[in-house]
Structure 1
Amino acid sequence: MTPTVSFRQLQVFAAVARLGTVSAAAAELCLSQSATSQALSDLERQLGVALFERLGRRLHLNDLGRRLLPRAEELLDGVAGFVAAATEPEGQLQGVLSVSASATVGTYLLPALAGRFSETHPAVDLRLRLRNTFEVITDVLRLEADLGLIEGECREPSLASEPWCEDRMVVVAAPSHPLARRGRLDDATLADADWILRESGSGTRGVFEQAMRARNVPPRVRMELGQHEAIKQAVRAGLGLGCLSRLSVAGELERGELVALDTSLTLRRTFSLVWHPERYRSPLWQAFKVFLVEARASGESTGEP
């Protein structure tokens, strides 16, 4: 006999998979925690399988849960589309889309684009998370994000990706720094300099280290900081050189608070879109991806000056 699965059970399954805890899922679905927990237990009991691994209060999808989540999301999206067709203006997008973005993209590009998309589609709930590149890839792998935007290329074979737009990084210093009035900095000068850098795992740090390795120049790292603003403040204080996206220092360069240094480093990179090929790609997902690609084509998403 085929097990009976309810719409509510599918809602709970998808919400717990996305949020990681029963309490968070209960809050999102406006249910009591006990009702949410019971719905999830009933679903696993009726199917005769476990869908999650329990690690303390956190729940992580197991292999079977990861395989079933796209089907559950497709069913839920179909029901939502049925209701929307009956109650909403024809063709109106609606639903929730979780997007994880690495720091440069998420701080300097995505907010304005997400704002424009939300204005056009007011029934859409875009949920943005600011992470580093490694964490974005982890979110997408764990099905905790529908779409990821990262700095550089995605080398995770389990994920699908495509280039989105180009970015250029720049070495910066305080105007009072001894190297600020030098000409092109040679490799020996770069090796002797103190550097204020992002943490390991960030796309910005990875591009910088790759460029230094190509010149056979090991950097002398004085500080590792997790935020662009913290790096800029440290560089402005004269504590060392920084290497950041031109997007993130455009204002400081224009105001003369920082100066760009001439080096032989190759500091160009590509921002990429990343998604899980087994994740259900709803009409909302497809519309947002098309929107981002069109923004790239029109030049709105470029990091070029």
Structure 2
Amino acid sequence: MTKFPSLEVLELLVAIAEHGSVGAGARAVGMAEPNASRAVRRFEREVRVVLFRRTPRGSEPTEVGQAVVAWARPLLQQAEGLALALRSLESAGLGQLDVAASMTIAEHLFPRWLAELRRHHPDDRVRLRVENSAEVSRLVLEGAVELGFVEDPSPVSGLGHRVVTRDRLVLVVAPGHPWARCPAVEPEELAATPLVAREVGSGTRSVLEHALGRLPLAPAAAVLNSNAGVRASIQAGVAPGVLSDLVVADLVRSGDLVVVPIAGLDLVRPLLAVWRTGQPPRGIAAQLVAVAEHSQELTT
């Protein structure tokens, strides 16, 4: 083996482990499947270990393969951070960026990011569109905006992504609701209860549905396309609801809403920057992603 392993091969190994097959992993990193298969076999010969076990369902990492993937992840994260930092140095004169962000991010995180960006780059111009996560992804895919920020942990095909921070979804009720005095609500009871919910396509709804797995959500008591509308309806006693802790923190502190634990579920979700595959953020866009990541470091 050469002095250092190839970052491209390590990225491929991680993608295969995450997606469950050589073909899916190859597509995730933009590589042809035959080339990916050869790259894996060549790397296995170099390190003299078998990293993946071929099964009827695809490819799963061996015990050694799991270790290699675990070692590779932080290295790739650092390499990507270095590449992002280098791209942020690129200058194209007066910076202008069209960006879209999901509602939670736009309302509670983006203003701080923008203020920090402008502190260092006061001449840059940023235009923001506020949509749900599905619409943000569509806008980025179609090239209507250069950069997006979404709450959905599973970005759509055709988008590159990077985790910039995390938040947590919480189940909240009005103080008079019976659940306000419960130590915890079981997932089955939550799924069977009509909630005040965000619309289909929102990251909040997608994360909750994914966390509940095979438990289908009951028809909603109300469906609203804004966080403000959902939290006001919950506060008014319409029904319980699930929102980001960023959205309800003030009402929880004042006692106007009560957080109810969900047994066995901790709804922490990554918040992602997304861009079109093959078009990583540069210049002002890379600077904004770096600012968002740095904000996470300051608050953890």
Aligned positions of 1:64-79 closer than 5 A: none
Residues 78-114 of structure 1: per-residue CA shift (max 9 Å, x gap): 9x94xx5xxxxxxxxx221111111111111011211
* Number of the residue aligned with 1:283: 283
Q: Within the alignment, does 1:242 sit opposite 2:203 as a pair?
A: no
Percent of aligned pairs sharing the same letter: 30
* Number of the residue aligned with 2:228: 229
Q: Which amino acid in the other structure matches residue 238 of structure 1?
A: G
Preserved CA contact (<8 Å) 1:134 1:202:
yes
CA distance in 1, matches of 2:159, 2:249: 33
Preserved CA contact (<8 Å) 2:105 2:149:
yes
TM-score (norm 1): 0.64
Q: Which amino acid in the other structure matches residue 96 of structure 1?
A: Q
CA distance in 1, matches of 2:283, 2:182: 53
Residues 103-161 of structure 1: per-residue CA shift (max 9 Å, x gap): 11111101121122113211100111111010110111111111111003243221111
- After superposition, the Cα gap between the structure-2 partners of 1:217 and 1:280, relative to the gap in structure 1 and judged at 3 Å, is closer
TM-score (norm 2): 0.65
- After superposition, the Cα gap between the structure-2 partners of 1:277 and 1:193, relative to the gap in structure 1 and judged at 3 Å, is closer
Q: Which amino acid in the other structure matches residue 132 of structure 1?
A: N
- After superposition, the Cα gap between the structure-2 partners of 1:280 and 1:173, relative to the gap in structure 1 and judged at 3 Å, is closer
Q: Which amino acid in the other structure matches residue 222 of structure 2?
A: M
Q: Within the alignment, does 1:171 sit opposite 2:171 as a pair?
A: yes
* Number of the residue aligned with 2:162: 162
Largest Rg, 1 or 2 = 1
Q: Secondary structure at the match of 2:195?
A: strand
Residues 175-229 of structure 1: per-residue CA shift (max 9 Å, x gap): 0112211221234532442200000000000011112225x35334111100111
> Is the deviation greater in 124-133 or in 282-291?
282-291
Number of aligned positions between the proteins? 210
CA distance in 1, matches of 2:226, 2:280: 33
Preserved CA contact (<8 Å) 2:147 2:281:
no
Aligned positions of 1:201-280 closer than 5 A: 201-213=201-213, 216=215, 218-264=217-263, 265-279=265-279
Aligned positions of 1:86-125 closer than 5 A: 94-125=94-125
* Number of the residue aligned with 2:129: 129
Q: Which runs of 5+ in 1 are unaligned?
A: 1-77, 85-93
Q: Which runs of 5+ in 2 are unaligned?
A: 1-89
* Number of the residue aligned with 1:23: none
CA distance in 2, matches of 1:154, 1:148: 14
Q: CA deviation at 1:279?
A: 3.9
Preserved CA contact (<8 Å) 1:150 1:271:
yes
Q: Secondary structure at the match of 1:273?
A: strand
- After superposition, the Cα gap between the structure-2 partners of 1:114 and 1:189, relative to the gap in structure 1 and judged at 3 Å, is same
Q: CA deviation at 1:280?
A: 7.3
CA RMSD of superposed structures (Å): 2.0
Q: Which amino acid in the other structure matches residue 127 of structure 2?
A: R
Preserved CA contact (<8 Å) 2:149 2:274:
yes
